[in-house]
Amino acid sequence: MSNILIIKHGSLGDIAQASGAIQDIFDFHKGDNIYLLTTKPYFNLFKKNPHLKDTILDKRLSRFNLIYLFSLMRELKKYKFQKVFDLQNSSRSSFYKRILFPSADSTIWSSSETTLPKDQSKVEFDKKPVLDRFKHQLDTSGLITNKTMLPDFKWACSNIDSIKKKFGLNKYIILFPFCSPHLQIKKWPNYNKLINLIKIKFKDEYKIIVAPGPNEIDKTNEINAISILKENKSLDISELAALIKDSSFVVANDTGPAHMAAHLGAKGLALFGSHTTAYKVSIERENFKAIQVTDLNKLSPEKVFEYFIKSLN
C-alpha cells in the first residue's frame, strides 16, 4: 500500500472541476492511501470526499517564510509519497516539486509541466479547456480517465432540510448576481429585470433566491430576491452545494457557484463576457449552458429570459 498525494489549493470553481480527476486517481490507485494538500477554505470540505484518506493543510504562507516552509516540507516527507498529482499546476506547486522531487518525471510527479506535449509550449497548452488539460495530464501519467471529463460534485452536499423548511423552499430559482470587486467585468447588471420577467410569466410558482458569500451579504438589498442565510451568516460550501443541486434553475455570473452548478447536474445558465470563454473553462454540461457575449452590459434581460425558458423546459 502506497501513499499518493494530490495538490489542489482552489479556487471554488476549480475544486468542483477537479472532482472527476480525483475520482479517476482514486479508482486507479485502489488499495493505496490518497491524501490531498489544500488550503483552509477547502480543508473541511475535502474531508467529505469519499475518495480521500485525509486532507493536509497548506497555509500558503510566503515562500520566504523558511520556518513554515521547512515545517510543511517535513510534514509532507513523513508520508513518503510514492506519487504526486499536481492538479493546481501553479508556480507554488512547481516550487514544491523542486524541493520534494527535483528531478522527477511524470511517473513520480504528474503536472501540466511534466506531461506537456512536446510540440506545445505551456502558454499554448493552457489555452485548452481545463478538463481537457486534466485528461491529458492523467492519460500521459498512465491513468484510465473515465470521470475526469465528467466531474461530479455531489459528494460535497450536506443536508439542508432545516434551511429549506425555514425559507419554505420547494420550487426555487437561485441567482448569483455578484462577483469579486476586482472582477466587475464578470458582472451582468440586469438581474432585477430578469426577476421581473420571471415573476410576470410564473407568478408565485417559483421563489427567487440568492445565497450571498460573506462579502456579499450587504449587497443583497440590491436584488429583489430572498436572501438565504444561516444564523445571519453565509451558507458553507456544502450547504450551498445542496441548495444549488435541489434548485429548479440557476442563473449566474462566471463565478465559483456557476461551476458548482455545472458539476452538480443543476439546470442553469452562466453569463460570460469577454474576460474568458465558456469553452476554455469547461462549464457547459448537459443541463448547464452558457451565454457568451462581447459586452455583458449589452446583454438584454429578454435574451437571458428566452434562454431561461428554453432551458427550463
Q: By the 8 A CB rule, do 212 and 219 touch?
A: yes
How many Cβ atoms sit within 10 Å of the Cβ of residue 295?
A: 9
Q: Which three cell numbers stand for residue 8?
A: 489542489
Distance (Å, rounded) from C-alpha 289 to C-alpha 19? 19
> What value does the mean pLDDT take over residues 107-121?
94
> What value does the mean pLDDT take over residues 223-231?
97
Q: Looking at the predicted structure, is the pLDDT value of residue 269 above 90? A: yes
> What value does the mean pLDDT take over residues 219-244?
97
DSSP 146: S
Distance (Å, rounded) from C-alpha 33 to C-alpha 17? 22
Q: Looking at the predicted structure, is the pLDDT value of residue 138 above 90? A: yes
Binned at pLDDT 50, 70 and 90, residue 92 comes out as very high
Q: Looking at the predicted structure, is the pLDDT value of residue 182 above 90? A: no
Binned at pLDDT 50, 70 and 90, residue 76 comes out as very high
> What value does the mean pLDDT take over residues 118-130?
92
Q: Looking at the predicted structure, is the pLDDT value of residue 181 above 90? A: no
End-to-end Cα separation, the chain, in angstroms: 49
Q: By the 8 A CB rule, do 34 and 4 touch?
A: yes
Residue 302, class by beta-carbon neighbours within 10 Å (0-12 exposed, 13-18 middle, 19+ buried)? Answer: exposed
Provide the angle, in degrees to the nearest 10, between the axes of the packed helices 91-100 and 66-77.
60
Per-residue CA distances from 195 to 39, 53, 301 (Å): 36, 44, 9
Q: Specify the pLDDT at position 313.
A: 83
Binned at pLDDT 50, 70 and 90, residue 90 comes out as very high
Q: Specify the pLDDT at position 283.
A: 97
Amino acid letter for position 223: I
Q: Hey, is 263 helix, strand or coil? A: coil
Distance (Å, rounded) from C-alpha 259 to C-alpha 269? 10
Span 31-47, pLDDT tens digits:
999 999 999 999 999 99
Q: What angle do CA 277, 279, 282 make, to 5 degrees?
A: 115
> What value does the mean pLDDT take over residues 255-269?
97
Q: Which domains does the chain have, with CATH numbers?
A: 3-152 (3.40.50.2000), 155-312 (3.40.50.2000)
User: In the chain, pLDDT over 70 holds for what percent of residues?
Assistant: 100
